[in-house]
């Protein structure tokens, strides 16, 4: 708990973090993560911009294929256990970068959570162009 208080107190004073906006999380990123949490490919697919959907399709991907991958992950017990919005930064070209810390549980019932940073690039319409 003390680490969270320290982080929220001092991170804004560090130049790299000072420009992050801790406003409300964008709908597209929330839908993407909720879709992963709930094994709902429609939410994930619809959060992507048309270019990202086209790239996935060109690589042999589809909404149905995504659902199959999610169903397989669910069967294995892989679970998105936590998602924390860190903040975002509007870019001069009208796009934005959004930052999250995501906790993934590899097995159902396990208390072990693997935390990973997620960085989203949103297009001018607020849809996800890239996930890193």
Instruction: For residues 97 and 130, give the distance between their C-alpha atoms in angstroms, rounded to a whole number.
Output: 10
Query: Per-residue pLDDT for 7 more than 60?
Result: no
Residue 37, domain member (yes or no) = yes
Task: Provide the domain count of the chain.
Answer: 1
Least confident of 9-13, 51-55, 74-78: 9-13
| Segment 79-94 mean pLDDT | 96
Per residue in 22-64, pLDDT (tens digit) is 579 999 999 999 999 999 999 999 999 999 999 999 999 999 9
Structural domain boundaries, residue 66: 21-131
Residue 92, domain member (yes or no) = yes
Residue 14, domain member (yes or no) = no
Residue 102, domain member (yes or no) = yes
Residue 35, domain member (yes or no) = yes
Residue 94, domain member (yes or no) = yes
Instruction: For residues 59 and 55, give the distance between their C-alpha atoms in angstroms, rounded to a whole number.
Output: 6
Residue 59, domain member (yes or no) = yes
pLDDT class for 107, splitting at 50, 70, 90?
A: confident
* Cα end-to-end distance, the chain, whole Å: 28
Residue 5, domain member (yes or no) = no
Query: Per-residue pLDDT for 85 more than 70?
Result: yes
CATH number at residue 71: 3.10.450.50
Question: What does the CA dihedral 81, 73, 49, 123 come to, rounded to 10 degrees?
Answer: 40
């Amino acid at each position: 708990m003390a680490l969270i208080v320290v982080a929220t107190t001092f991170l804004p004073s560090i130049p790299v973090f000072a420009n992050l906006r801790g406003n409300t999380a964008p709908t597209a990123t929330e839908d993407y993560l909720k879709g992963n949490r709930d094994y709902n490919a429609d939410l994930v697919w619809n959060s992507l911009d048309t270019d990202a959907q086209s790239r996935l399709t060109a690589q042999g991907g589809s909404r149905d294929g995504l659902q199959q991958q999610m169903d397989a992950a669910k069967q294995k017990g892989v679970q998105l256990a936590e998602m924390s919005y860190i903040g975002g930064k509007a870019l001069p070209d009208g796009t934005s970068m959004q930052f999250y810390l995501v906790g993934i549980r590899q097995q159902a019932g396990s208390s072990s959570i693997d935390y990973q940073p997620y960085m989203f690039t949103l297009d001018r319409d607020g849809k996800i162009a890239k996930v890193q």
